[in-house]
Structure 1
Amino acid sequence: MVYDYLAKPTQHIMEWLANLFNGSYGWAIIAIVFIVRLILLPIMISQMRKSTIQQEKMGMVGPQLSDIQKRQKAAKTAEERAAISQEMMTLYRENGISMTGGIGCLPLLIQLPVFGALYAAIRYSPDLSSAVFMGIKLGDPSILLAIFSFIAYLAQGWLSLIGMPESQKKQMRVAMFTSPVMILFISMSASAGLGLYFFIGGLFAIIQTLIINLYRPKIRKDIEAEMKKNPPKVVTPVEPVKPQPIAKPIAPTKPLNRNAGKQHKRK
């Protein structure tokens, strides 16, 4: 099914594009990346902007959040932890902060069929698997392209930390390394054509991050102006619900022996 509905159409598109580039399948892959990223550019910039707004709002409620996190670590009972978790959710809700940070999965879901189609097309097409681009055989794994992809996405992650509050940088550093490492291992085990797709896609991601960084000061000013009109709402601590003591069952009383009275009268 993957070959019939994804690989074959991708093969035809890549062959048509390769003919436009004098038989170069490498440039055909780059053209596909350009088309896909151009379609996704408005969506991805919008999501990155929403994520930046969420980051700035998180910075505004940073003192309250830090206090809640300290009390959460010091909580000793399950009731206390539940109450503090409820307090944190209320803080997010009252200040319009998303638990997911404003990041959606739509761009990734759109790109997944492209990854599968490109992988299957390069794997099962003799012309694509034997094609060479800049001395690299597109059908075989390429460590060089895997390293380039890793560096590109690592640079994009580092650029995304610029201008971010220090309290959030510590949490985002782990995520900054996770995605490049995953792409590195996938590119090392997959064909060079997919590694080329990742590398060019990483360059586009760098451009998108630079665009957001240019708009970040304006976003910060808009949020600061909004916070002056509507200051961050302070959430009062929630008292933990103490469990009610379980009442001990009352032992049943022994019934009176009526026959004993009758026997006493007979005597």
Structure 2
Amino acid sequence: MKRLKRLLTYGGLFTTLTLFLSACTTTQTHQQPPTGFFYGSIYHFLGLPMKHLITWIADLFGNPPNYGWAILLITLIVRLILMPLMLNQSKKTITQQHKREAIQPQLTDIQERQSKATSPEEKAELTQEMMTVMRENGVSMTGGMGCLPLLIQLPIFSALYMAIRYSSEIFKSTFLGISLGHTNLIVAILAGLTYVLQGYLSLVGLPESQKKQMKTMMMMSPLMTFFIAMVSPAGLGLYFFAGGILAIVQTLITNFYYMPRIKAEVAADLKKNPPKQVVKPAPKKPAAPKPAKPQRPAVQPHRNRNAGKQRRS
């Protein structure tokens, strides 16, 4: 299972990189469909069916066909199909975050000892101890964040790109004054900003410690979206923009509907099954005895040396 996930992840990254590089090497003119083994296969199995689907939907909007509305409708359909999966993924992520918060004192103790460790063996042992704490309490190292929704969309990205780039009808069409076959800076910026807003909303309600860890990850999606939309046809950027708006709606549903329920469920579960104490608290060192204060010698009363003589006299 781990090998399959790793293969899917590497395959998704390779597909993204291939799409990015192919977009960089193409010009702003309609091109003939590719015939090579790799690009030809992608076009034959992904691009051509997507072209037929866009054309069929565009014809439903009247004559002339409106390819922009067809792309938006395909975006809506894809998001609706993926929404149960993505909401379930969000639920797992929120659950993992609250479970991690419950064992944070143990993790903090291990991290403090790691910062003071001097040998690689000691650091490896502490890393293993941290993994044990998380495994015993059912907390994932990735925090429940999966890449399956993104991997499912990668073939759709590739299919849309191929359909727009290698179809003269779609390439030369416009939507609200935007040429779908050419790059468009405004569409790329709007697509990036929607995912910036979606990432910001996804941090609402999280503890400050987890916000700091996730801010960097949340900025990667808007940057990747912007750069891919910047070098791709505006039709693909339109897909990203519409998908970002729907992602914002999904995040709002998660924050205001799912999150309160999940918090209550996790709190009830932790009350019934408290976190397992794997890390033993360090024994308190006995307080060092306070040094005794030096005692001053008792003050002897002053005796008059001539008193005895006076008495004898």
Give the TM-score range, shorter chain. 0.7 to 0.9
Match of 2:163 in 1: 121
CA distance, structure 2, for counterparts of residue 61 and residue 33 of structure 1: 40
Comparing both chains, which one has the higher relative contact order based on Cα–Cα distances under 8 Å and sequence gaps of 6 or more? 1
Question: Where has structure 1 moved over 4 Å in runs of 4 or more?
Answer: none
Matched, 1:13 2:53: yes
Match of 1:244 in 2: none
Deviates more, 1:37-46 or 1:206-215: 206-215
Matched, 1:163 2:214: no
Asked which structure has the greater CA Rg, the reply is 2
Deviates more, 1:129-138 or 1:203-212: 203-212
Match of 1:99 in 2: 141
Match of 1:175 in 2: 217
**Match for residue 278 of structure 2 among 235, 238, 251:** 235
Give the length in aligned residue pairs. Answer: 238
Matched, 1:222 2:262: no
> What are the within-5 Å matches in structure 2 for residues 70-109 of structure 1?
70-109=112-151
Match of 1:207 in 2: 249
Match of 1:61 in 2: 103
**Match for residue 30 of structure 1 among 53, 72, 85:** 72
Query: Are the counterparts in 1 of residues 133 and 279 from structure 2 also a CA contact under 8 Å?
Result: no
CA distance, structure 2, for counterparts of residue 105 and residue 236 of structure 1: 31
1:33 shift after superposition: 0.5
Match of 1:139 in 2: 181
1:104 shift after superposition: 2.1
Matched, 1:130 2:172: yes
Partner amino acid for 2:194?
A: A
Partner amino acid for 1:222?
A: E
**Match for residue 237 of structure 2 among 176, 195, 206:** 195
CA distance, structure 2, for counterparts of residue 75 and residue 29 of structure 1: 55
CA distance, structure 2, for counterparts of residue 36 and residue 48 of structure 1: 18
Matched, 1:148 2:172: no
Q: SS at the partner of 1:194?
A: helix
What stretches of structure 1 of length at least 5 have no aligned partner? Answer: 238-267
Deviates more, 1:16-25 or 1:96-105: 96-105
Matched, 1:42 2:104: no
1:50 shift after superposition: 0.3
Q: CA RMSD in A?
A: 1.2
1:90 shift after superposition: 0.6
- Percent sequence identity is 54
- TM-score, normalization: structure 1? 0.87
CA distance, structure 1, for counterparts of residue 73 and residue 125 of structure 2: 53
Deviates more, 1:97-106 or 1:10-19: 97-106
**CA deviation digits over 1:120-147, x for unaligned, max 9?**
0100000011110001000000111111
